[in-house]
Every structure is written in structure tokens, then in C-alpha cells.
Amino acid sequence: MSKVKVAINGYGTIGKRVADAVSLQDDMEIVGVSKTRPNYEASIAHDKGYNVYTLANRVDAMKQAGIPAAGTVDDMIAKADVVVDCTPGGIGKKNKGLYEKAGVKGIWQGGEDHELAGCSFNAISNYEEALGRDFVRVVSCNTTGLCRVIYPLDQEFGVKKVRVTLMRRAADPNDIKKGPINAIVPNPIKLPSHHGPDVKTVMPHINIASTAVKLPTTLMHLHTLNIELEKDCSSEDVKDLFAKQSRIRFVGQGISSTAEVMELGKDLGRPRGDMWENCIWDESITMYEGELYFFQGIHQESDVIPENVDAIRAMMELESDGAKSVVKTNKTMGL
């Protein structure tokens, strides 16, 4: 069977990781990636063997920089079965018409609104909803991290209520423009934050509210969760449940900060030191007065990457069983 042809529109933090993960699969292949500027990332993409496409008015600039552009973004889209749009939040929606016109499927990221695709995706929570769909949105790094713990808890014990505080990284490590560099910023100040409602785009019945602050760090987000469950259970029951989830990793053994979690990613030999799983301090999993508490670290640059691979598989109906797709993606990525 021929492989599904995947194009990556926007080869930045998320796009380059999705390209590498798709390249590892035996049922899909990368037909091109797009870069707006002829910078080091475009050069490395070309050296890796990706066909590099660019905006119509940048083809000459690309060539002058010694990076032979394979053509325009429109040319790239014409070669694809599905485009993974990894352009900055808010830009992706402008591309919908391009995908419709070319008759290709499109995946957007969490920076776009749910309404753009009409289906917000997390592999373990609602894989089936994406089967055969033309447009899907893979939810943000934070929402992905929340769905991965809320879904199994809801299945096993029933979730009555979730309250979460998100301590968000200020910027990605390569971003020199954003801050703060010396402040803690309640963001948004008006409560609750949008993160809780975003989980409801995947699991509408969940009672969830969130608050969020931005911190002067680039490494990871940290969530503090407080969850009321329908059924009585112990912290050991929750640990047993989380231990069975393939995209949850327990951290401990002297790891007491997000800095050490990211060092673990490097020591594991992960590409770019990525931590694709939710990193939960198992020691923090506590039942107190009948309510569950725990901490989890979320590597914002990478937790959505396996989810994008699974979304492609669902939309192209390469696999109808979400659990099987998750196993396949995990195995190929080394997760």
C-alpha cells in the first residue's frame, strides 16, 4: 500500500518535530515542509532530505541563500493527502481555503480555535471522532497533558470535578522575544482561564476550571491538579491506573524540578531531549479528604507530537482502533 503523503506547513518548534516523527512511520511519508525564511532551520531541513517549499515571494530569496526551494506552499499542498499546519497561532485559519481548494485534509494545532476544524483531538480520549474527517485540531500542549490524565480517571473512577493551576513557561527556549524574565504574571487575570474550557472541546461533560500564571522559565509547564472522583479510591489505585498509561511517565529518583526532567530527556537520548509523556511525580499523587492531588510537568515543545501522528492515522483511516495507533506511534518514536 502506498504511504499517505504528509506536508508540514510551518517548520518551527512543532513542525520540525512532527516531520521527524512522521518520517519514522511505515504508513506515511513527508512530501515537503515549508519555511518562510531561508534560515538555519531551512538549511538543516534541506540537508535532512526534506523538500523545502516557501511562500511565492520568497522562492528567489531561498535560492540566493543556497537552499534550493522545491516550489511554493501551493505546490507543496498539491502533492499532499494531508497538511499538518504548524504555523503560529492565528495564521493557520487563513490557510483553510487553500486546503479546501486543493482538496486535501488539514490538521491544525492548539493555537487555532476549535471551531476552525470542528473536531479537537487527543488520541486516547476521542480518536474515533477523527476517523475519516477532513479537518482536525490537535489540542494544545497543556490540554493534551490534561486529557491524558482526566480521560483514564473518568473511565475508571468517574470525574466529578477538576480544578487545575497551570504554571506556564514564558517562551520556548529558542524564543528571544517573549517574557517575563523577572516576574510572575497572572495570565489571564480574569478567571477562570481558557484552559479548562479547552479540555471540554475534547470531553464536553467534564466539570473543569483552571487558573494560569506565566513564569520566567522556558523548559516546561507545571500543573497542580485537584480532582474529585465519583468512586472511592486510594492514591495507590490512581498510581496503578497512571502506570498503565503509555504516555504518562513517573518521575522521581532525585528529580525534583522541571530542569532535571529535561536533563532526563537528554540522558535518555531522546531527539532534541524531548519528553513526549506527561511527567508525573508519583510521590505527589495524594488522596486528601477524599480528593486527588498531584503535580505533572508538560514539555510544551513535544507532548503533542505523537498526537499529530495519531491524528493523521485516524483522518486517513489507516487504523480504526485508536489504541493500536497509539502503540504503533509510541513504538516507532521510542516512547
- The C-alpha angle 205, 208, 214, rounded to 5 degrees, equals 140
Least distance CB 132 / ligand NAD (angstroms): 24
Q: Say if residue 305 is exposed, middle or buried (CB neighbours under 10 Å; 0-12, 13-18, 19+).
A: buried
Q: What is the CA radius of gyration of the chain?
A: 20
Least distance CB 247 / ligand NAD (angstroms): 15
Q: Is 141 a catalytic residue?
A: yes
Entry field: residues in the chain: 335
Single out the residue of 187, 198, 213, 199 nearest to residue 113, CA to CA.
Answer: 198
- Of the pair 4, 42, the CB lying nearest ligand NAD is at 42
- Of the pair 55, 287, the CB lying nearest ligand NAD is at 55
Interacting residues with ligand NAD (CB under 6 A): 9-15, 34-37, 73, 86-89, 91, 109-112, 140-141, 172, 300-301, 304
**H or E element at residue 235:** helix 235-243
Least distance CB 59 / ligand NAD (angstroms): 13
CB 228 within 8 A of CB 160: yes
Catalytic residue among 86, 119, 141, 147: 141
Hunting for cell 506556564 — which residue is that?
168
CB 81 within 8 A of CB 105: yes
Least distance CB 78 / ligand NAD (angstroms): 15
**Whole-angstrom distance, CA of residue 156 vs CA of residue 229:** 10
CB 294 within 8 A of CB 153: no
What letters, b where the CB count within 10 A reaches 16 and e where it falls short, cover 19-33?
bbbbeebebbebbbb
Least distance CB 301 / ligand NAD (angstroms): 5
- Of the pair 109, 211, the CB lying nearest ligand NAD is at 109
- Of the pair 177, 205, the CB lying nearest ligand NAD is at 177
Using CB atoms, what's the residue nearest to ligand NAD? 12
Residue type, position 67, single letter: I
- Of the pair 108, 151, the CB lying nearest ligand NAD is at 108
Positions marked active-site: 141
